[in-house]
Structure 1
Amino acid sequence: MILTVTPNPSLDRTYEIPSLDRGEVVRATGERMDPGGKGVNVSRAVAAAGRRTVAVLPLGGAPGAVIEELLAAQGIEVAPVPIAGDTRSNIALAESDGVLTKINAPGPELTGQEQELLLDTVRRQSRGADWIACCGSLPRGLSPSWYADLVARAHAAGVRIALDTSGPALLEALREGPDVVKPNAEELAEAVGRPLMTVGDAVKAAEELRGLGARAVLASLGADGQLLVDGAGVWYGSARVDMVRSNVGAGDSSLAGFLIAGGIGPEALSSAVAHGAAAVQLPGSLMPTPVHLDPAAVTVTPDAPVDRVLGEPVS
C-alpha cells in the first residue's frame, strides 16, 4: 500500500475556451472538475495501476466534499482530516491552441489543532504502508519545517518516505534524510542556487542534495529524461514518446511508477520513466493504466549523457 499526503489539495476546475480575451465575456465550450494536488495525482496513478493507495487530505467545505466523492469514484481510499476552512478551488483556462492559464488559490490556513490532527492521521494510516509519499506545497499555517517533522516521524515508525516539494520545505526536510526526493529541473536548480545547463549539471545538483541528507534523488528533466542518484551511483533513463498531449501530472505519475516498482535502483527508475512517458501521451490529467505502458520504449543506463544540453536550461 502506498500512502499519500497532500497538505494543500484542490478542486481543479478546467474550462475549455476558444481564446482568452481580457476584459471580454468568454464562453466556455467545455468544463470538468478533477481532484487536484501532487499527492492526489500520485494516488490516482497508483490506483490506475491496480494497486492499493490511501490519500490523507485536509478537507473542508463543499469543495472538500466533492474531492472525496471524486476520489472514491476512482477507487481511492480517502482518510480525510476535517478542517474549518474551505479546501481551495483552482481554475484552469484551456485555449484551443493548447495554451493553458492556471489560477491557483492559496488555500485555507490550518490551525495548530488541525496540523496535529493531520500528523496523527498520517501516523495511524501508515501502519502497513510500503511507502509514504508527501507531495506539494504547504498550506498557510504550516511552517517550512512541517515536512521535516513528518519525515522524522515516519522513520521513527519504520516507514520509508518519498518527498516531492520545493523551496524551504524541501531544504528543511533534507536534514531528516528522506528516502527519496523528486525534484524537477527547476526545483533542483532552485535548491542548489545555480543554473542547470546540462544533464551533468543536474547530476551534480542531485549529488549535492544527497550531501544535504537525501538518500536518493529522482530528478525529472522533462523531455531530457530522468535521473536517479543514490548510494549505488547514477542512473539515467529516457523513453521514446510519439506525441505529447499533456504534461499535467506526468511527474506525479513518474513518482507513482517509481514507488510501485519498489523505489530502489534501475528497475524502479525504468518504471518511473515508463509511467511518465505514458502520462504525457494521454489527454488532460488522465493517469496511465498498465495497458498504456511501453517498457520496450524505455532505456536505462549508468552512462548519463553529462554533456547533453538541457532542452530548456533552468536558471
Structure 2
Amino acid sequence: MNPVANVVAVLTPNPAVDVTYRVAQQRVGHTQRVLDVTRRPGGKGVNVARVLGSVGARSRCLLPLGGPAGRWLAAELAGLDVPATVVPLAGPTRTTVTVVDGVQHPTMFGEPGPAVSAAEWAAVTRAVPADADAFVVAGSLPPGTDPELVGAWIRAAAVPAVADVTGPALLVAAAAGAVCAPNAQELLEATGCASEQAGAGVLLERGAPLVVVSRGAAGLSAHTPGGQVHVPAVAGVSGNPTGAGDAATAGFVLATTRGLPTATALRWAAAFGAAAVLRPVAGEVDLAALARHLPELQLELQLEPQLEPRPEPDGSPA
C-alpha cells in the first residue's frame, strides 16, 4: 500500500479567520499598541487538515463559509495547497482574535459563528464525501446548531470516524459510532461525570468504539470496553500549546489509516502534539521533531526537516 494513499475527509463546522495580535505585555483594561498582526485560516478541523498535509498525507476539508471572510479563508487554503470543498453560507464566517506577548498564556476572543439555516446544513451533509478512507469532524458548532447533525455527518461518511467535538455533540458522535477524542475537561463536561474513567464509560456505552482522552503534559489515554492504554507526553517540550490537540488528532488518524494498533496510534498522537508545540502557530508541526520521535514516519513519508529558524511562540485559537 502506498503510505500516503489514504484520504482523510475533515469537516470544520465553524471555521474562522484567526487573527493574532502580538503586544509587549497583556494588560487588561489598558490601551495597548499592537506590534504585529497575523491572519490565517482557522478552526480545529482546518488545523488537522493542514497538519496532515504538512507530512504529505492526503486530506480534504469540508467547510461552510460565507461573506468576505469566508472567501478570504477559501483563497488562503488554496494558496496553502489544502484541498477544500466549500458550502456557501448567507451568514459571514467568524473571526477569532488572540492576544500574545510571549510571557503569559495567550488570551483568545472567539466570535460565536454565523446562523446557519436548515437548508445550508443539509447541503453540508450532502457534501460529506463518500469515497474517503477516514472522516474527522472537529471544532465547535455555530450557535443554535442541532448537535444531532454530527451523527448525520458521521453516518453520511460511512467510514471510520473521529470526533473532536464538545458538549451534547460528543454524546451524539459516540452514539453514531465515532472514535471520540475530547480533552479531559471536555469529557467531564459532556458526560457530567467526576472521573475520566466514568466519562469514557458513558461514551463507550453509547456506542463509541474507542475514547481517546488528551491530558496535555500528562499524555493521552485510550479507553476501550476491554481496558485502558496510556502513553506519556513527550518530555522536555515547551512552546505554544495552541493547536497541539489538533495535531495529536491528525497523528492519531494518520496512524489508524495505516492499520497501526491503538498504543502505536497514541504514540503518534503524542509525537505530533509535541511537534506542534514547537511551532509558532496552530496547524503546523516541527518536521525535524517528528523525524526524531517517529523514525518510521520519516521513512514512510520521506519527511525533510524544516531548515528555517523557529520563530518565538505565540498563540492561536483552535
Give the TM interval when normalised to the shorter protein.
Answer: 0.7 to 0.9
Deviation at 1:286, TM superposition (A): 4.9
**Between 45-54 and 256-265, the greater mean CA deviation after superposition:** 256-265
Matches within 5 A, 1:80-229: 80-122=86-128, 126-154=129-157, 158-178=158-178, 180-196=179-195, 202-229=196-223
Residue in structure 2 matching 1:268, options 265, 274, 279: 265
- Runs ≥4 residues deviating over 6 A: none
Q: Count the aligned residue pairs.
A: 286
In the alignment, the residues of structure 2 paired with residue 149 and residue 240 of structure 1 have an alpha-carbon distance, to the nearest angstrom, of 36
- Pick closer, same or farther for the CA change 1:294–1:207 going to 2, 3 Å: farther
State the match for 1:242 in structure 2.
Answer: 236
Deviation at 1:212, TM superposition (A): 1.9
**Between 91-100 and 104-113, the greater mean CA deviation after superposition:** 91-100
Alpha carbons 1:167, 1:187 under 8 Å: kept: yes
In the alignment, the residues of structure 1 paired with residue 274 and residue 61 of structure 2 have an alpha-carbon distance, to the nearest angstrom, of 24
Paired residue type of 1:121: A
TM-score (norm 2): 0.84
Alpha carbons 2:247, 2:283 under 8 Å: kept: no
- Pick closer, same or farther for the CA change 1:99–1:265 going to 2, 3 Å: closer
Any idea what SS the aligned residue of 2:200 has? Answer: helix
Alpha carbons 2:248, 2:268 under 8 Å: kept: yes
Identity of aligned residues (%): 34
Any idea what SS the aligned residue of 1:98 has? Answer: coil
In the alignment, the residues of structure 2 paired with residue 286 and residue 43 of structure 1 have an alpha-carbon distance, to the nearest angstrom, of 8
Gap regions ≥5 residues in structure 1 = 197-201, 299-315
Paired residue type of 1:15: Y
Deviation at 1:192, TM superposition (A): 3.0
In the alignment, the residues of structure 2 paired with residue 294 and residue 281 of structure 1 have an alpha-carbon distance, to the nearest angstrom, of 13
Any idea what SS the aligned residue of 1:246 has? Answer: coil
**RMSD, aligned α-carbons:** 2.0
Deviation at 1:15, TM superposition (A): 0.4
Residue in structure 2 matching 1:287, options 284, 288, 311: 284
Deviation at 1:96, TM superposition (A): 4.0
**Between 216-225 and 205-214, the greater mean CA deviation after superposition:** 205-214
Indicate the structure with greater strand content: 1
TM-score (norm 1): 0.85
Gap regions ≥5 residues in structure 2 = 1-6, 296-318
Alpha carbons 1:184, 1:221 under 8 Å: kept: yes
Alpha carbons 2:218, 2:233 under 8 Å: kept: no
State the match for 1:44 in structure 2.
Answer: 50
Paired residue type of 2:18: D
State the match for 2:62 in structure 1.
Answer: 56
Deviation at 1:273, TM superposition (A): 1.1
Residue in structure 1 matching 2:77, options 68, 71, 75: 71
